Structure 1
Amino acid sequence: MQVYLVGGAVRDELLGRIIKERDYVVVGATPEQLIKQGYQQVGKDFPVFLHPKTKEEYALARTERKQGQGYTGFVCEFSADVTLEDDLRRRDLTVNAIAKAQDGNLIDPYGGKQDLDNRILRHVSDAFSEDPLRILRVARFAARYHYLGFTIAEETQQLLTQMINQGELQTLTAERIWLECEKSLTDGAFAEFLNILAQLGALSAISPALAGNWSDELYQQLKNRYAYAQSQNITDQALLFAQATASLTQEEIKILSQTIRLPNDVRDLALQLNAHQATLSSQTITAQQLLRCCNQLDLWRRPERFEAVLKAVEINQAASLANQKLLTATKAAKAINPQQFITQGIKGAAIKTALEQARLEILQQYFN
């Protein structure tokens, strides 16, 4: 039984990046052998096991055979006879098909180290085209390593284009597309991810409207917004994703939210930013406009919602706004207690009217 470090950990180590997780492949072993040594099997279809102490993933060397459509139509075949080279051949990119032995030696049958040195993302074999998810994965890797000068090999671009033209992206589930978006947001390279998809003709898988609106100007705007967010250590995915949809209409955002099955909080903030960014970024905002915005966002019961939209507007403008004045004014308006009107003998619907007027008068002390 031989154990090798594989995939992303080897790639990032060679690139001098922080290794976030380590995956291992085990050659020449059976499930029974690993279980006997205390490994815990996870999943029934794939021979993946958790180390008894470190809980890191150890997978038996395997091959995959396409059977059916989409990215899930694979039959996994594994045995003690599957070689390391066989296992590495099923991987997507050469830079992800490098293994490291326990003595530190690299096993690199498909030239991944050279492609790393040359900053090239190249598919390992023609089996690449059997998995449409790899279209998004390659775009995500190209975006993540864009700052290092990585580009997609010409032959891989041609294969990706062929897959896209054949409608392979339509076989992906909405949830899986969102997961790739989520990973790219975490990478801090979402503008690059969208731009690469646009160049490949694949951005419509996320949003036909966004694909139709895409331009170099929008790309630069998004880069500026994300650079600002990074400078402010903003990592909330709802705040970041909303920047990409700020140019869409409410209806287009709703369609997008179904196309890639956005989490509710991400969808809601995208819609709220779209609805209120013009008002909250205005240099001439009035108390009446601010009160209307507060009512629509239900600031009185959900102040965190207003604050999130305000932060999203700040990122959208890529500059700190007069946020403190807005927050101070709305906090003062929120502090008004309806009980004071009840004490005055005001009843029923008149309480709401009096409360609204009192809040407006507070806001008018800050905005005319």
Structure 2
Amino acid sequence: MQAYLVGGAVRDELLGLEVKDRDWVVVGATPKEMLANGFKQVGADFPVFLHPRTREEYALARTERKQGRGYHGFTVYSAPDVTLEQDLRRRDLTINAIAKTEDGDLVDPFHGRDDIKARKLRHVSEAFSEDPLRILRTARFAARFRPQGFTVSEQTMALMQDMVDTGEVDHLVPERVWQEFQRALHEKAPEAFFDVLRDCGALSVLVPEITPSAVFPLAMKALHCVDKQTNATTEERLAALLSPLDESLALERAKALKAPNDCQNLARLVTAFTPQIRSIDPQQPDAETLLDLLDQADLWRRPERFLQLLSVLECALSDESQTINLLRTASNVATGVDPKALLAKGFKGKELGSAIRTERLKRICDAVAPTNH
């Protein structure tokens, strides 16, 4: 029974990056032997165990065989006769198929170190084509490692294009697609994820609305801009990606991706606001229009989401900064209206609501008057 450090831990160490998770593969052991050594089994689909002290994951060496289409069509074989090389062969990319012995020696049967030096993302074997999720994983690694100069190898790109052509991507379940999208949106260069998907043809299957040449650069520009902001959320990132679309298309795609409701709602707001922002003359702003926009955004109950909205609009509509600043000014003064003060003056019921709106409108009007901006 031998244990080897594998995958991302070995790769990141070779790249000089911080190692966050350490995963191990065990060759020559049975589940019974692992349990006898104090490991706790946690894997349902295949034998994975937690180390009794470190709590790091130890998986028994295994092979996988394609039985159907899509991500779930696999049978797993795990037994003491599965070799380390057989286990590494089933992995996606050569840079993820390097193992390290407990003594520190590297086992690299698929030349992952050469590809690290060449900055190439290359598939380990033709078995790559059996799992369409690997297209998304490869694109995500491109997004993570673009700052280090990594690109997808020509052979791997050609293989991914063939997978798209044969319809493998059509069989991906939306929940798994969203998991990869969400992670990719937070990688070092998220736009690289979509560049790779577009180059291999998968984007036209997964998010066809942003694929056209008139739309794609706008989506990438907005996403890149939001990505540069501090602590940009998933909601802001997805809304930026879908910002060039019409409201109905953006909401439909966010739903199809199984994005959470908060993501769907911000994408809807950004795309609904876009034509309205463009219709405002910043030299002659109408206070009523600005207040209507604040109402649409539900600023009064969702101030945090309103700030997200402004953040994305600033990136998606960089040529409308004057109008967006007016909207920000309007929100600042309108939220200063204190309903309790008006209540103390005797307003109540519908009269209170009317008085609050009148006061908000007056403050906005004063703040955005041409002499003040």
Q: What is the TM-score of this pair, normalised by structure 1? A: 0.91
Q: State the Cα distance separating 1:317 from its structure 2 match.
A: 5.0
Structure 2 residue aligned with 1:276: 273
Q: State the Cα distance separating 1:337 from its structure 2 match.
A: 3.7
Q: Distance in 2 between matches of 1:295 and 1:139?
A: 39
After superposition, the CA RMSD in angstroms is 2.5
Matched ranges for 1:32-111 at <5 A:
32-111=32-111
Q: Distance in 2 between matches of 1:34 and 1:58?
A: 9
Alignment-mate amino acid for residue 198 of structure 2: A
Structure 2 residue aligned with 1:116: 116
> Percent identical across equivalent pairs?
44
Alignment-mate amino acid for residue 367 of structure 1: V
Distance verdict in 2 for CA 1:250–1:109, change over 3 Å: same
Q: Distance in 1 between matches of 2:318 and 2:87?
A: 46
Which of 254, 257, 263 is the matching residue for 1:266? 263
Q: Distance in 2 between matches of 1:234 and 1:149?
A: 24
Q: Distance in 2 between matches of 1:214 and 1:189?
A: 21
Structure 1 residue aligned with 2:133: 133
Q: Distance in 2 between matches of 1:261 and 1:150?
A: 30
- Deviation per CA, 1:21-78, whole angstroms, max 9, x where unpaired? 1111111111112122221111322111112222221101111111222111111111
Distance verdict in 2 for CA 1:27–1:44, change over 3 Å: same
Alignment-mate amino acid for residue 54 of structure 2: T
Q: State the Cα distance separating 1:329 from its structure 2 match.
A: 4.3
Contact 1:29 1:60 in 2 (8 A): yes
SS in 1 for 2:367: coil
Q: Which runs of 5+ in 1 are unaligned?
A: none
Structure 1 residue aligned with 2:152: 152
Contact 1:92 1:134 in 2 (8 A): yes
Contact 2:219 2:241 in 1 (8 A): no
Contact 1:280 1:290 in 2 (8 A): no
Structure 2 residue aligned with 1:192: 192
Q: Distance in 1 between matches of 2:232 and 2:350?
A: 43
Contact 1:195 1:219 in 2 (8 A): no
Distance verdict in 2 for CA 1:188–1:241, change over 3 Å: farther
Alignment-mate amino acid for residue 312 of structure 2: A
Distance verdict in 2 for CA 1:242–1:326, change over 3 Å: same
Q: Which runs of 5+ in 2 are unaligned?
A: none
Contact 1:185 1:240 in 2 (8 A): yes
Which of 234, 237, 249 is the matching residue for 2:234? 237
SS in 2 for 1:33: helix
Structure 2 residue aligned with 1:358: 359
Q: State the Cα distance separating 1:325 from its structure 2 match.
A: 7.1
1:249 and 2:250 correspond: no
Q: Distance in 1 between matches of 2:302 and 2:223?
A: 31
Contact 1:115 1:122 in 2 (8 A): yes
Q: Distance in 2 between matches of 1:191 and 1:239?
A: 14
Q: Distance in 1 between matches of 2:360 and 2:215?
A: 43
Structure 1 residue aligned with 2:212: 212
SS in 2 for 1:365: helix
